[in-house]
Structure 1
Amino acid sequence: MPDNLTIIPPRSGVSFLLKKGQRLKVVDLEGEQVSDFVCYNLADKGEVISSGRTIDYAETILLTKGHPLYSNRSNVMCEIVEDTVGRHDFLLTPCSADTFRIIYGHTHPHRGCFGNLCAALKDYGISPDAIPISFNIFMHVTVDGDTGKVAVLPPKSKAGDYVVLEAKMDLLVGLTACSAEMSNNYAFKPIGYQIEG
């Protein structure tokens, strides 16, 4: 395991501050584990990461090194500056108790990444309705070109793969070790992260 990593246990989440110019390294410690990432402008938490604006401006759903992640106000919040995998998702919402009930048929569903993000961000005044679509690091989602059908496949990440995001403003960050079976090839593992700079 790399030195200086903070570990997010399987099926849990954390929140922390990331200052402008700092870099967040997110590491898949064992392989095939997704990490949901959300962020807010620390100075005005009504400004939040936006899937729609980011995809619109990038003109691709395959975001990787060199792509900025935009806010709902069209400001760059952070940029992907390193990426050893090159396949992530910015289409699907954080998994939730409803995800497990509707998709998996669980009668006693896990609260999922949505619930974990709600708990992690609550002390910063973030309400459940303010949780956006997350940038799903390492998640492998395909879209059929003819039917538009979405498929969730096992992540392409191997043990030790990582992504580095550089903050372009002071951020409040929520980060998880994803709880959804299909997203993680039916095994739940930890995620490591560290702040650089």
Structure 2
Amino acid sequence: MNNPTMHRIPPCSARAVELETGDELVIVDPEGQQVSDLVAFSRDDLAEYLSSGRSIDYAAKLWLSTGDLLYSNRSRPMFEIVDDTCGRHDFTLTPCSKDTFSIIYGETENRPGCEGNLVSALEPYGITTDRIPIAFNVFMHVAFDPDTGAVAVKPPLSKPGDRIRLRALMPLVAAMTACSAGQSNNFRYKPIDFAVERAG
């Protein structure tokens, strides 16, 4: 692997990158307690996307970390998590959106949220709003009541400098956010850093 350049995603925005098989995507929380929504699509056929349901089903657990595979909707491995210093992420909740802010927070500002920011980042690839799947919410801390099933979004467990490293197992288009939802980042909007370590 080469020495990659670290890129910064400003608060409440998103970036997209292209990955080759074997490339490693490193996502870093530089300040702590910030979430990055990650989505991915096969470059060979953009109808194939990173699937929460397939990944959780095949791992037989909700919280995926080092050594786990992330699968596509066609049951093909897309990523392997090769390193993870945080160990707690979410793969159940959808990217925040204008509707999220209206329904949950009562906002009227029409902020785009992670959904809108992902669409903007993926516009060159023709990925529209209806094609944004449930994201792999890096560093997001979601808790479930074992008796009622109630869901609670808690402050992330990530500390400054925590990172996750994912190896691409096929050519991909990936997009990441610095999350815009207050509950996801302890109500302080912060950046996310990332790098791509090229194979070979």
Calculate the TM-score normalised by the size of structure 2. 0.96
CA contact (8 A) 2:4 2:195 kept: no
Alignment-derived partner of residue 133 in structure 1: 134
Q: What's the CA shift for 1:122?
A: 1.1
**Which runs of no fewer than 5 residues in structure 2 stay unpaired?**
none
Partner AA of 1:78 in structure 2: F
Q: What's the CA shift for 1:55?
A: 0.4
List structure 1 runs of 4+ shifted beyond 2 angstroms. Answer: none
Alignment-derived partner of residue 71 in structure 1: 72
* Distance of 2:4 and 2:66 partners within structure 1: 23
**Which runs of no fewer than 5 residues in structure 1 stay unpaired?**
none
**Residues 1:18 and 2:19 are matched in the alignment:** yes
Alignment-derived partner of residue 114 in structure 2: 113
Partner AA of 1:25 in structure 2: V
Q: Secondary structure at the match of 2:105?
A: coil
Q: What's the CA shift for 1:32?
A: 0.2
Q: Secondary structure at the match of 1:114?
A: helix
Partner AA of 2:99 in structure 1: D
Partner AA of 1:146 in structure 2: D
Quote the sequence identity (%): 55
Q: What's the CA shift for 1:125?
A: 1.2
- 1:129-162 C-alpha deviation (Å, 9 max, x unpaired): 1110000000000111100000000000000000
Alignment-derived partner of residue 168 in structure 2: 167
Q: Which structure 2 residues correspond to residues 54-69 of structure 1 after superposition, within 5 A?
A: 54-69=55-70
CA contact (8 A) 2:41 2:47 kept: yes
**Residues 1:186 and 2:187 are matched in the alignment:** yes
Alignment-derived partner of residue 46 in structure 2: 45
* Distance of 1:39 and 1:62 partners within structure 2: 18
* Distance of 2:194 and 2:38 partners within structure 1: 11
**Residues 1:99 and 2:104 are matched in the alignment:** no
Alignment-derived partner of residue 151 in structure 1: 152
Change in 2 beyond 3 A, CA 1:166/1:184: same
Q: What's the CA shift for 1:46?
A: 0.4
**Residues 1:27 and 2:4 are matched in the alignment:** no
Q: What's the CA shift for 1:3?
A: 7.6
* Distance of 1:192 and 1:43 partners within structure 2: 27
Q: What's the CA shift for 1:128?
A: 1.2
Change in 2 beyond 3 A, CA 1:159/1:77: same
* Distance of 1:12 and 1:165 partners within structure 2: 21
Calculate the TM-score normalised by the size of structure 1. 0.98
CA contact (8 A) 2:14 2:114 kept: yes
Partner AA of 1:27 in structure 2: V
Task: Single out whichever of 66-75 and 105-114 deviates more from structure 2.
Answer: 105-114
* Distance of 1:91 and 1:53 partners within structure 2: 12
CA contact (8 A) 2:4 2:197 kept: no
* Distance of 1:16 and 1:89 partners within structure 2: 21
* Distance of 1:145 and 1:9 partners within structure 2: 36
